[in-house]
Chain A
């Protein structure tokens, strides 16, 4: 289901069409912003001002969408793959709001307020064809991928805004116990299943053009 009113009768048609249009535009803006954020993070050194402005815009859209109440709850099992990807992609901005909780809602979970919001986002309108290509940026994994590691590595993307700077050098290395082993493993392509599942900070891969799926084994899936 989509934003309210798309399928109402003509009597209420106009008003709701406008609302639906605005929602569509808003959603498209959100998608665009998330893509920009992701591209920001993939850059060698992100422009902090730009990242902050885009992130603020995304938060603003999210707030307005929540207030509008245009979100509908959707049970995770019926969500399917596309909404899951959307969930993962919006988690970056959600992370900021739920930092205090100390943990991120698992995909599809529905407990507590914050995860409710997440699953609301999860139930966001399935994209009409043109927009889904943007959503596809996040569609990097096949169904068989390890979503846990992908999710965790995406969590780190927003953190890499900080971890690209020496002030948090400790943060850079805090995420992994043996950075050089992992780097070697990836570079030489010899990755056993264990190390493949360990998420590496995407900062390590900056030189290689920025992998998103840091936890993904480089070999055949």
Chain B
């Protein structure tokens, strides 16, 4: 009963849910912009949908800043590589927002091979009263013009225009898994399985290769790059993770080619847990710097780990996401679930971390109280504006009424992509082709 009270305390934080069904396809990435006003999703069909938070209105106190569709556009189209005789998927792997520098918003979106810079602008006024053109735009007969007028700007329905400003193509041989904008706001990096390139946002015909782990003989290949990110404050530092579970922090000031890391973060293997799957489950699927820049968060198959940049020997915190799967690794290897790449996220204050799991469950860990909660993103289990009920997976032993047993977990319902608002307790969860946005109504009372 004490336990129940505890979980209820955590539960009360989330009082609202809005579920948006994106029309066709499976969502492949979710990203808030730097203010949290905009939320972008990319899908397998190459489309990007941007949601905007409505300003809070006094008239309807219940709809505190809900997210509505702001713009939809086709970012990438399927391509055919004639040389290799294969298709390049249009699936959007990652979206990253650029810091806003003027009235327009910009974002980078990438598929396996090509990165594009999109500019999003609003138009809510239009000029009327041209001298040479009439209202439809046709040239006027000059003989009918008897006087001159100054065109006036008149309000019009808001129109959101999206245009591709840059296309960064042909930089990658292998599949791009990450992009990250530098804190200098001038450069960004893109990483594929074996190489990382540095681009200037204004230059599309050239990029600098800063990491190359391709062996001279591909037969010797045993490790690939799985994710990478720039440090949020130090524009010379970046980290990349590998399929062997290691993190490498690199300093671009040290050398032009950062093959030699400045720091190597690796946890020694636990001999008691060793199996044939040890390496696969140690592969890092996502790495994220904390907002403070002091820590890194990594996700591997069964855990999330917090690393201190000053300590390379081991993570400072390890949280079990779904340890009950440890005895099922062989089946998960057989059905390929063991290769699923889950992402992870920090909250704005770096006190809570979040990651997805199976059965449309997602998990949150409070670093201070060491409490954790499992929640479910599904329409069946939560009506709009209802409190989310914590879920429990029972792996044998005592079973309570609403527990789900490990064997009845639905492994096709995986939450790979999650995002946390940069400042508030608002989270976006992508569950296959559905986007869930959960808000905390009483944010001021949150720890």
Contact = CB atoms under 8 A, between A and B. Distances in A.
A137 interface: no
- Most chain B CB within 10 A, of A49, A159, A161, A203, is at A49
B280 A53 contact: yes
Nearest to B281: A53
Given A99-B217, A165-B173, A206 B85 contact: yes
A44 B87 contact: yes
A164 interface: yes
Contacts of A165: 84, 173-174
Interface string A56-73: 110011000000000000
Interface in B278-317: 279-280, 283
Interface of B is mostly: loop
A143 B334 CA distance: 31
Contacts, number: 81
Contacts of A188: none
Contacts of A44: 86-87
A95 B219 contact: yes
A7 interface: no
A17 interface: no
Contact of A99 (B174, B219, B224, B330): B219
Interface in B190-204: 193-194
B218 A162 contact: yes
Interface in B231-283: 243, 276-277, 279-280, 283
Contact of A60 (B86, B219, B223, B279): B279
A53 B339 contact: yes
Q: Of residues A56, A61, A99, A207, which shows the largest number of chain B Cβ atoms within 10 Å of its Cβ?
A: A56
A179 to B, nearest CB: 11
A60 B333 CA distance: 15
A165 B277 CA distance: 28
A193 interface: no
B243 A53 contact: yes
Given A57-B276, A60-B279, A95-B219, A52 B83 contact: no
A1 interface: no
Interface of B: 83-87, 173-175, 193-194, 214, 217-224, 226, 243, 276-277, 279-280, 283, 330, 333-334, 336, 339
29 contacts: A29-B330, A36-B336, A44-B87, A45-B84, A45-B87, A45-B175, A47-B339, A48-B193, A48-B224, A49-B243, A49-B339, A52-B222, A56-B222, A56-B279, A57-B276, A57-B279, A60-B276, A95-B219, A96-B220, A99-B217, A161-B221, A162-B218, A164-B84, A166-B83, A169-B83, A172-B84, A203-B84, A206-B84, A206-B85
